[in-house]
Amino acid sequence: MIEESLVTQNIKPAKKIFSYKTIRFEGAFRRSLVIVALIIIAVVAGIFLTLSVQSIPSLKSLGIGYLWGRTWDPVSNEYGALPFLLGTLMTSFLALIISVPFSYAIAIYLGEYNTKGWLSGFLKNIVELVAAVPSVIYGFWALVIIVPMVRSIEIKIGAAPYGVGIFTASVVLAIMIIPYAASLGRELIRLVPGSLKEGAYALGATRYEVLKNVTLPYTKSGLFAGLLLSLGRALGETMAVTMVIGNTSMMPDSIFSPGNTMASVIANEFTEAAHTVYLSALIELALVLFIVTVIINMIGKSIIKRFSAE
């Protein structure tokens, strides 16, 4: 490609290269690059503005107390978002707790124990494929496999045997978010300077002691950022959660009770929301979700940026 363009340019007389047409095209090209970059900014600003404007009716008629109202009953025009906020927080944090041992184990294995070779390549590809499976397929699979498993656990411990519910949703979410913390953690663990680890080994430390006293303290902030990014991912995940959480608007009273997250209530009720306040209340949930995930992502990314700059 390069050679070809050079040859054609050489043959053409110089006059033709700097024709007005070329110059005009060059200006148009530069301008269109700037315009495209501006459009991206406009899209994001537009998302925020649209959500804000559309949630004005609910802000006006329900006030800020909407966010901690305990009942959600659109039929009698009563709106309170607390069941969904609680549902989102419970599923996300439970999923995070379940996923941490696995994602950190993968990060440590790929970053420290086995950095090269076919086995680590295999595991790396598996982790990427786990991230690639569409969330509806996770949801469908969980509906058929995980739900009966959870139901039998519930029968054993004497909880109400719904099967669907917050715990089931957390298990599915945990599987889905493992790849995010794992692949980030792996890269950060690799950034630990070899001289630090060698120093510890030279002092007679075992591999576990090096990991515990050198590698993990060094990567602490980065691993935390990985957790934040997976949390952001878990908060916004919709489909798999919607399929297995049970979709009730009651306050969840245990981790086994069915519930709803912010994303799942939007997915379920948005097209049915007949009047303005109802619709607007749902959009206000989306606005809260948007702001929270953006803040969490920004904090996570800035920690990583600082970490890799060091």
Scan residues 275-304 and list those touching other proteins (CB under 8 A).
Answer: 283, 286, 289-290, 293-294, 296-298, 301
**The one among 79, 84, 138, 167 contacting other proteins by CB under 8 A:** 138
Distances in Å between the Cα of 28 and the Cα atoms of 33, 37, 162, 182, 222 are 9, 14, 62, 44, 42
Torsion on CA atoms 11, 12, 13, 18, rounded to nearest 10: -140
**The one among 96, 169, 211, 214 contacting other proteins by CB under 8 A:** 211
Crossing angle of the two packed helices 147-157 and 166-190, in degrees rounded to 10: 110
The CA distance from 249 to 247, in Å, is: 7
Phi, psi of 238 (to 5 degrees): -110, -60
**The one among 239, 250, 251, 277 contacting other proteins by CB under 8 A:** 239
**The one among 83, 222, 236, 246 contacting other proteins by CB under 8 A:** 236
Scan residues 145-164 and list those touching other proteins (CB under 8 A).
Answer: 145
| End-to-end Cα spacing for the chain | 39
**The one among 11, 43, 157, 274 contacting other proteins by CB under 8 A:** 43
Residue 87 beta carbon to other proteins: minimum distance, rounded to whole angstroms: 15
**The one among 133, 149, 155, 196 contacting other proteins by CB under 8 A:** 133
Q: Is 59 in the site for other proteins (CB under 8 A)?
A: no
Residue 306 beta carbon to other proteins: minimum distance, rounded to whole angstroms: 15
Scan residues 79-118 and list those touching other proteins (CB under 8 A).
Answer: 101-102, 105-106, 108-110, 113
Using the minimum distance from each CB to other proteins, give the nearer residue, 78 or 272.
272
Q: Are 294 and 283 in contact (CB under 8 A)?
A: no
Q: Is 256 in the site for other proteins (CB under 8 A)?
A: no
Residue 276 beta carbon to other proteins: minimum distance, rounded to whole angstroms: 13
Length of the chain, in residues: 310
**The one among 33, 155, 160, 191 contacting other proteins by CB under 8 A:** 33
Using the minimum distance from each CB to other proteins, give the nearer residue, 51 or 62.
51
**The one among 94, 173, 178, 200 contacting other proteins by CB under 8 A:** 178
Using the minimum distance from each CB to other proteins, give the nearer residue, 58 or 297.
297
